[in-house]
């Protein structure tokens, strides 16, 4: 009887931990949706705030975390290689699956991108901080730094080849996209500070800290304000299948493989959150800019954002109750 009671109390503690971890992130997203529906924020605010997050505050967050990271302790070569192999595998898989679901290249392009590209920079960072504490953001920033170029390159290929916008991929365009990405620039600038232990003036650190602190709340409000439920009926089948791949198959299969490879604690948790977070908002922006089905891209974002409230909660609860994180 005592063991049963202790097991029940432990389960309830893990359930409360999971709720306290996940709910604040999605409550802020929901607040963004409410504010937009009430007219307190509009599309212009969301557009401008998203640009500020992408170009200013998120690079500040990446810089401040990476510049103070001890790469000898934070860098896990096995984890990085595993993440790259996993992304490539599911990228190829979703490309293969899309060819059976639709012949429209514009639909295929949005389906592929929506099925693999995680919103780790925003939702993932917030969940990592809530689950493990702010110190774990160094590992999260390091993972973001190595995976962001891959996400960008694969997105450009996915949005170009299926619609045959170009007979030949432009290497110059791909390289320009990579090296002008604010997150990549922040990563490059942070490396000398991390490796050479260069001290940053206190006034500058405090300024960057203030800007970095704006990132998560501002971005989460923007995600909520961007949700559009009215268009869900259109392209629902494609959006639903992409959602299943993105927030169910991909995170749970890859987390299990990571466990078998020996990942535990923060390493396993960060890996799970990388793959479990909903599709990145930028996938809609890129799909629209490159002439693909932006409506489908938006629907995938809506469904993965809604669905991940459940799948992330279940995932964290299972990892916690099994003593893996």
Confirm whether 164 is domain-assigned: yes
Is 14 contained in some domain? Answer: no
C-beta of residue 133 within 8 angstroms of C-beta of residue 20: no
Check residue 239 and give its pLDDT: 93
- Within-domain flag for 232: yes
Identify whether 16 is part of a domain.
Answer: no
User: Could you tell me if residue 272 is inside a domain?
Assistant: yes
Per the domain annotation, does 11 fall within a domain?
no
Whichever domain contains 106, its CATH number is 1.20.1530.20
Segment 251-271 shows an average pLDDT of 94
Output the pTM of the full model.
Answer: 0.81
The 10s digit of each residue's pLDDT in 27-45 is 888 898 899 999 998 888 8
Q: Is residue 15 part of a domain?
A: no
Computed over every residue of the chain, the mean pLDDT equals 84
What pLDDT, on a 0 to 100 scale, did the predictor assign at position 230? 74
* Continuous H helices in the chain: 2-37, 43-52, 58-66, 71-74, 77-101, 105-116, 125-132, 137-160, 171-179, 182-195, 202-226, 236-244, 250-260, 265-276, 282-289, 294-321
Domain that holds residue 79: 22-321
Question: Which 3 state secondary structure label does DSSP give 322?
Answer: coil
State pLDDT tens for residues 73-129. 667 889 999 999 999 999 999 999 999 999 898 999 999 999 999 988 888 888 898
Residue pointed to by tokens 């409360």 = 16
What the block records as the tokens of 252 is 């749970």
If you average pLDDT over residues 295-311, what whole number do you get? 89
Kindly report the number of other CB atoms within 10 A of residue 285's CB atom.
Answer: 16
Q: Are 238 and 111 in contact (CB under 8 A)?
A: yes
* Token pair 């898989």: residue: 93
Establish if 32 belongs to a structural domain.
yes
What's the average model confidence in pLDDT over 275-303?
84
Tokens representing residue 160 in the block: 């170009």
Q: How many residues belong to the chain?
A: 325
Phi, psi of 279, rounded to the nearest 5 degrees: -65, 140
pLDDT of residue 5: 66
- What's the number of domains the chain is made of? 1
């Amino acid at each position: 009887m005592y063991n049963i009671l202790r097991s029940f109390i432990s389960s309830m503690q893990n359930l409360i931990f999971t709720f306290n971890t996940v709910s604040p992130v999605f409550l802020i997203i929901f607040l963004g949706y409410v504010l937009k529906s009430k007219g307190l924020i509009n599309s212009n605010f969301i557009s401008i705030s998203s640009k500020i997050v992408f170009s200013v505050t998120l690079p500040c967050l990446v810089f401040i975390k990476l510049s103070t990271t001890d790469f000898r302790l934070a860098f896990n070569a096995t984890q990085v290689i595993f993440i790259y192999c996993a992304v490539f595998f599911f990228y190829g898989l979703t490309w293969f699956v899309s060819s059976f679901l639709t012949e429209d290249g514009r639909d295929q392009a949005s389906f592929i991108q929506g099925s693999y590209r995680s919103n780790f920079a925003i939702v993932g960072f917030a969940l990592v901080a809530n689950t493990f504490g702010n110190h774990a953001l160094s590992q999260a920033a390091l993972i973001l730094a190595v995976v962001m170029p891959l996400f960008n390159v694969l997105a450009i290929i996915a949005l170009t080849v299926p619609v045959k916008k170009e007979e030949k991929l432009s290497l110059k365009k791909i390289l320009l996209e990579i090296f002008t990405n604010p997150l990549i620039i922040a990563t490059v600038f942070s490396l000398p500070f991390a490796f050479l232990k260069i001290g940053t003036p206190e006034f500058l650190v405090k300024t960057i800290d203030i800007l970095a602190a704006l990132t998560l709340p501002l971005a989460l409000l923007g995600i909520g304000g961007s949700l559009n439920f009215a268009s869900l009926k259109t392209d629902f089948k494609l959006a639903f299948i992409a959602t299943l791949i993105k927030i169910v198959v991909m995170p749970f299969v890859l987390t299990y493989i990571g466990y078998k490879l020996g990942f535990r604690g923060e390493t396993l948790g960060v890996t799970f959150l990388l793959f479990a977070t909903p599709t990145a908002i930028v996938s809609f922006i890129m799909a629209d800019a490159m002439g693909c089905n932006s409506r489908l891209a938006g629907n995938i974002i809506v469904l993965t954002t809604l669905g991940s409230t459940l799948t992330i909660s279940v995932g964290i609860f299972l990892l916690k109750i099994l003593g893996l994180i």
